[in-house]
Structure 1
Amino acid sequence: MKHITTFSFLLVLFAHTIIAQKTFSNLEAGKNSLNYKGNPTSATDRKYLAFSDKGAWFGFGFLEPSEVQGGFSGPYLLTEQNGVWLSSSFLSLHLNDKNKQELVNWKTALVTQNSYNSHLEQQFKNEKIEVKQLLVFSSGHSAIQKTSITNRSKEIITLYPSFDSKLFLDNLKLSNESQMLKIVSTKSKAIGYTQFLNTKATIEITKNGYNAQIEKLTLKPNETKEIIVSQTFIFPEYSWQKEGQNLAKVNFNTVLNTVQKEKENQLTQLIAHKKGIYKDPIYSNLIAKLVLTLQNNSRIAAEGLKHEGIFPSYNYEWFNGFWAWDSWKHAAAVVNYNPELAKNQIRALFDRQKPNGFIPDCIYRDTLIEPNNYRNTKSPLAAWAVWKIYEKTKDDNFLKEFYPKLKSYHNWWYKDRDHDQDALCEFGSTDGTLVAGKWESGMDNAVRFDNSKILKNGEKAFSIDQESVDLNSYLYAEKGYLNQMAQVLKLDQESKKWQDEAFALKTKIQNQFWDASTGWFYDTSMDGKSFVKEMGCEGYLPLWAEVATPQQAKAIKENMLNPATFNTFIPLPTLAANHPKFKPEGGYWRGPIWLDQSYFAINGLEKYGYTNEANQLAHKLIHNAEGVLEKGEAIRENYQPLSGKGLESYNFSWSAAHYLMLLLEE
């Protein structure tokens, strides 16, 4: 009879597994797309990735098998110090017998560790006990961990569970409040709460951490019991009382199932809109990785960030904020599956718009760690992002909200960044420094700025002494988007104004920046009489903006397909490969592949009808970049064009955003 019972239990377990795989087939296929394994040895050990969801300011991972414990790694706190590990494993489980002997050797008992876009799970098993741990985020403030313990033996087992941890940080104070751990930091206003939701705990605060003894568990053969614990980190503008009440009545299985359905629906929706050439399942799995990359970088509003948005990379210490250029690109991609996040990403930057229309370069939650950067703005892509959102949502109110703000930002360029008032703008700065002017271009150390100087236009208004083809192409595109918005809003006179301005600017770009002898667009001197003849990625922006003539587009296409210039192993480097200053590794904007510029190039080819050529370059961009199609490998900030090696930051959002847009139909 016992054998039949055991067989029935295994049969039911197998059936549940099959049903889950069928119900959440995209989640299952995309599992382990990022590698969250690692053993943090200090608070600032940033070598490892952390899983998060719902915009939470903290995340978790898996401990490596060599150091595994009965818990997940972390949390990794973004609530303070630009990202620190609270502990190697703050909820480290011990299962002892009455003689205080550990019944599970976690290292030898480890069976699996799996990550999904929805949650984390790990399983341990020995001859007596099976332990399964699941972790899911219930909100932007809280994650819930369920530990299921099953008696695999033929005897009744009594367990004495406990959790403990030693903290990495000495600026935290732990306290026991009504069988709940409270965590207060001297370096953050966020407060942490750890609650044992379905059991009583006797908590002892130790010198460097805590110990929590849980009620004993008595398990009959094949019986399973659960321990459910929540971890919350919440900023003061949110109500802990409300969050605590929600957690008190939470059903773990319901939360997990809801999140799984949400993520499965996201992936199903995106996969259904892949371009025809990307029907292979490998690209569906890539979509899961790209969305997860953006998910892990998403943050709810907190302190100085008044709306939710997306970091460039939580994994890099100084990327814990919202950048203007990045934000427009994130929003254009995210609207394909999360329109509200896309809208709020735009709002986050416009929250800081100055009365004169200026948008800061980047903004942060805590300006005591790093001040918002008002020294420069970034290339004008906001109208593009807003229009992409409108195309997906048809939300007229969103256009009404942003059209005046976009118009003010657009006009600001001509007031503060047109030194000679010829309707062609320059990059520049508000503080008169050349370095901030280069930052404004987004291409911080591009070769085209090697010999540049800064010129004063007026109070807090300075320009680099050259007119840039990419900037004016962006502005041309903006006039087109503003025209379309004006038409939707029935602003006929303003629509006519944008059309007239666009026509005039188009002629200027085609004539001033074009060099027929090399078939490329270049920046020019302020008077437009000489080229800054450095063949870089800015030269194909007129394709994306649809400002080039068909003849110019054809010549640019030939350069883009030339292996000596731009058709490298990974195509479309930021500087032509035959340029004497080409530096494919460590060059930043002097050679490496940046996915935003590559996307603009490929999308530009598509707009001019060069679909086959665009597809060829996109295929190389996806298949030749290190780790992009590999399970467990993070999306990188940029890539080495000759070898495909990933460079700079891991888990980089705009790379993920542009790969996603490359895969999807417009």
Structure 2
Amino acid sequence: MPTVELDLVERPFTERGSRLLVTAAPDGLRVARAEYETPLDATTELTALVVHDPAGRLVPVASTTPSELAFANGVSLMFADPSTLVIAGQHAHASWRLSDGTAQALALNGCHVLVGPPGGWSEQAVRTAAEARWERWFAQMPAVRPDLAERARMAWWTLAVNLLPIGGREGLVPSKYGYVGVWNWDALFHAVALRHASPALARDQVLLLLDHQLPDGQLPDVVHDQGVLAETTDLPRSDLARLTEHVGRANGTALSPSAVPVTKPPLAAWAVWKIHRSDPDLPFLASVYPKLVRAHTWWFTASDPDGDGLPEYLHPYSSGLDDSPVWDYGPRAEPPDLNSYLILQADRLADIADALGRPADAAEWRARAAAHTELLLAKRWDGTRFRTLAGGSPVPVRTVLDLMPLITGRLPRAVAAALEQELRSSHYWGEHPLPTVPFDDPAFDPDAMWRGPVWLNVNYLLIEGLHRSGFTTTATELRRRTLAMVRDAGGLYEYWNPLTGTRATHATSGFGWSAALFVDLAAQPDG
């Protein structure tokens, strides 16, 4: 069975459904627990785990695969179940320190629980079960080209280990390193890949959000172990402190002290329709359609403070673009992506209505998409670009969001061609496109999250948009360069430096939507 070698740094030894992470440290192995908004240093179960042979010599780790962490003398760590990490072997000694500093030691003569509830386990039974679990999972991976297979297997493993019980379902968290909850936007991108293995699991990612929909129709930003994050009073203090570093710094406009809704860009109907096309399920469509309509309507009733028919983001986190330079001009902003998503959503709601045998609804949604496109053009297209507003005024900074109206597939040919030409210009088109801020903009920073690095979700959406707008050659080339960048960079990162194509300085590893969208792009036919 093809598998993945884990380095115990970017790729910890862990298991689907488990909060436990085994990583390497200078003094041995560490076992910590992944929890929402909690650093691993605060959830350490044990540290300095080492193995010695009967003569007292230190035994190194020989290999780590998804099913087993093996020391050179046959001692192994394995998951008996998501809560239970065992150590198994003969004629060896293991030692470690508990989180309070207490030293522990064990003479190995079978299979012992290292972390988890007491119980008796058979080494061979644990190994056989673990190997079978991972064989079943990798067997579900969609086929990809041979040159993409190694990175695709890593991505497929990432999706499995990031699955945790969250909010009453099995949710895929963005990363066990610091992102232990189900984020709204991420869940929808995760569903795109999970539909290849388990459409039911993909549907659960959407249902996790809809289960926690607010009475006014808003979808929460995060579903986590303690509840949801749906407004600014729910934010951790560290987030508030970080936001003050850049929000409004160009003009001094501060964050509001009162509660503000926090959500993520509207793509739920887009994800639902992708899942349905892979695995038609009319009862599922019928059950989610009213909730999707309410979520769509929320943007127009609760997130359009100037009443011009073009909703805006009321908070930086609602955009998913936490530190984008558009927020330098204030905590409210209207980049062109939001209304582009809403147009796309209206068309997908039309598709869902058609599938449910509701032609009048479908016609209304398509009419709304057309009218919304006309309004976006009339109010935000200046003849050369779609303008971004902050607090009602245009901002000078340019971002890749200026190109997002391509995803609608509804732009006049001349406007779409102008955007495609800009995308292919030296402002954006390098060996590793697309930077989130163009190379020549004064705000460009290749390592600062949304101020320059490449993000897979942006590229993925624009690849779709280019196809939808008739620019197949550019879409194909953007897909090729995106896949090559991820293949060659060494890991599934949160974002990439667009100058080098390598991991950006502060990007986390094992990132869920990077894994999900890489798999989906790699599974698409070439050409």
Instruction: Give the TM-score normalised by the residue count of structure 1.
Output: 0.67
Q: 1:566: which partner in 2?
A: 428
Q: After the TM superposition, which residues 104-183 of structure 1 pair with which residues of structure 2 at under 5 Å, given as runs?
A: 104-107=57-60, 112-115=62-65, 118-124=66-72, 131-147=73-89, 149=90, 159=91, 161-167=92-98, 169-170=99-100
Q: Greater relative contact order: 1 or 2 (C-alpha under 8 angstroms, separation 6 or more)? A: 2
Paired letter, 2:471: Y
Distance in 1 (alpha carbons) for counterparts of 2:420 and 2:347? 23
Distance in 1 (alpha carbons) for counterparts of 2:269 and 2:370? 18
Cα deviation per residue 1:151-198 (whole Å; 9 max; x = unaligned)?
xxxxxxxx4x5544211x23xxxxxxxxxxxxxxxxxxxxxxxxxxxx
Cα deviation per residue 1:103-150 (whole Å; 9 max; x = unaligned)?
x5414xx6x3142xx4234242xxxxxx32444445433345543x5x
Matched, 1:499 2:393: no
After TM superposition, give the deviation of residue 417 of structure 1 in Å.
Answer: 1.3
Q: 1:74: which partner in 2?
A: 30
Distance in 1 (alpha carbons) for counterparts of 2:186 and 2:30? 28
- 3-state SS of the aligned residue for 1:60? strand
Q: After the TM superposition, which residues 4-403 of structure 1 pair with which residues of structure 2 at under 5 Å, given as runs?
A: 24=1, 26-27=2-3, 31-32=4-5, 34-36=6-8, 49-61=11-23, 73-79=29-35, 81-83=38-40, 84-88=43-47, 92-96=50-54, 101-102=55-56, 104-107=57-60, 112-115=62-65, 118-124=66-72, 131-147=73-89, 149=90, 159=91, 161-167=92-98, 169-170=99-100, 208-213=102-107, 227-230=110-113, 233=116, 251-267=125-141, 270-271=142-143, 274=144, 279=145, 281-301=146-166, 305-316=167-178, 319-366=179-226, 372-373=234-235, 375-403=261-289
Change in Cα spacing, 1:61 to 1:480, as seen in structure 2 (3 Å) is same
1:509–1:547 CA contact under 8 A, matched in 2: no
Change in Cα spacing, 1:368 to 1:497, as seen in structure 2 (3 Å) is closer
Distance in 2 (alpha carbons) for counterparts of 1:521 and 1:120? 52
Larger helix fraction of residues = 2
Distance in 2 (alpha carbons) for counterparts of 1:446 and 1:165? 44
- 3-state SS of the aligned residue for 1:601? helix
Q: After the TM superposition, which residues 572-591 of structure 1 pair with which residues of structure 2 at under 5 Å, given as runs?
A: 572-586=434-448, 588-591=449-452
Name the % identity: 25
Paired letter, 1:585: D
Change in Cα spacing, 1:133 to 1:401, as seen in structure 2 (3 Å) is farther
Q: 2:453: which partner in 1?
A: 592
Paired letter, 1:113: S
Distance in 2 (alpha carbons) for counterparts of 1:506 and 1:266? 39
1:50–1:296 CA contact under 8 A, matched in 2: no
1:146–1:229 CA contact under 8 A, matched in 2: yes
Paired letter, 2:185: W
Distance in 1 (alpha carbons) for counterparts of 2:116 and 2:346? 43
- 3-state SS of the aligned residue for 2:452? coil
Cα deviation per residue 1:490-520 (whole Å; 9 max; x = unaligned)?
233322321221121122223332233x3x3
1:606 corresponds to which of 450, 467, 476: 467
Gapped runs of 5+ residues in structure 2? 236-259
Gapped runs of 5+ residues in structure 1? 1-23, 38-47, 125-130, 150-158, 171-206, 216-226, 235-239, 429-436, 454-463
User: How many correspondences in the alignment?
Assistant: 494
- 3-state SS of the aligned residue for 2:169? coil
Q: 1:152: which partner in 2?
A: none
Q: 2:242: which partner in 1?
A: none
Change in Cα spacing, 1:95 to 1:643, as seen in structure 2 (3 Å) is closer
Cα deviation per residue 1:623-651 (whole Å; 9 max; x = unaligned)?
346xx435xx3322222222324122222
Larger strand fraction of residues = 1
More displaced stretch, 636-645 vs 443-452: 443-452
Distance in 1 (alpha carbons) for counterparts of 2:326 and 2:440? 15
- 3-state SS of the aligned residue for 1:354? coil
- 3-state SS of the aligned residue for 1:74? strand
- 3-state SS of the aligned residue for 1:423? coil
Q: After the TM superposition, which residues 607-622 of structure 1 pair with which residues of structure 2 at under 5 Å, given as runs?
A: 607-622=468-483
Instruction: Give the TM-score normalised by the residue count of structure 2.
Output: 0.84
Paired letter, 1:210: Q
Distance in 1 (alpha carbons) for counterparts of 2:192 and 2:316? 24
1:640 corresponds to which of 488, 497, 500: 497
1:485 corresponds to which of 348, 352, 357: 352
- 3-state SS of the aligned residue for 2:74? strand
After TM superposition, give the deviation of residue 487 of structure 1 in Å.
Answer: 1.8
1:82–1:320 CA contact under 8 A, matched in 2: no
Q: 2:509: which partner in 1?
A: 650
1:420–1:526 CA contact under 8 A, matched in 2: no
Cα deviation per residue 1:513-556 (whole Å; 9 max; x = unaligned)?
2233x3x32235888xx854533111222212223223222221
Distance in 2 (alpha carbons) for counterparts of 1:624 and 1:390? 30
Distance in 2 (alpha carbons) for counterparts of 1:257 and 1:296? 14
Paired letter, 1:398: F
Distance in 2 (alpha carbons) for counterparts of 1:618 and 1:264? 24
Distance in 2 (alpha carbons) for counterparts of 1:368 and 1:573? 32
- 3-state SS of the aligned residue for 1:591? coil
Distance in 2 (alpha carbons) for counterparts of 1:417 and 1:589? 23
Q: After the TM superposition, which residues 404-553 of structure 1 pair with which residues of structure 2 at under 5 Å, given as runs?
A: 404-428=290-314, 437-452=315-330, 464=332, 467-516=334-383, 518=384, 520-524=385-389, 531-553=394-416
Paired letter, 2:473: N
Paired letter, 2:102: N
Change in Cα spacing, 1:122 to 1:251, as seen in structure 2 (3 Å) is closer
2:329–2:395 CA contact under 8 A, matched in 1: no
Distance in 2 (alpha carbons) for counterparts of 1:665 and 1:290? 15
2:457–2:514 CA contact under 8 A, matched in 1: yes
- 3-state SS of the aligned residue for 1:402? helix
Distance in 2 (alpha carbons) for counterparts of 1:416 and 1:659? 34
Q: 1:178: which partner in 2?
A: none
Paired letter, 1:444: D
Distance in 2 (alpha carbons) for counterparts of 1:258 and 1:371? 45
Paired letter, 2:33: L
After TM superposition, give the deviation of residue 471 of structure 1 in Å.
Answer: 0.8
Distance in 1 (alpha carbons) for counterparts of 2:19 and 2:377? 47
- 3-state SS of the aligned residue for 2:276? helix
Q: 1:190: which partner in 2?
A: none
1:623 corresponds to which of 465, 468, 484: 484
Distance in 2 (alpha carbons) for counterparts of 1:299 and 1:289? 18
More displaced stretch, 320-329 vs 360-369: 360-369
Change in Cα spacing, 1:646 to 1:138, as seen in structure 2 (3 Å) is same
2:111–2:123 CA contact under 8 A, matched in 1: no
Structure 1 outlier segments of 4+, above 6 Å: 367-371
Distance in 1 (alpha carbons) for counterparts of 2:439 and 2:123? 60
After TM superposition, give the deviation of residue 360 of structure 1 in Å.
Answer: 1.8
Change in Cα spacing, 1:353 to 1:209, as seen in structure 2 (3 Å) is farther
Greater Rg, structure 1 or structure 2?
Answer: 1
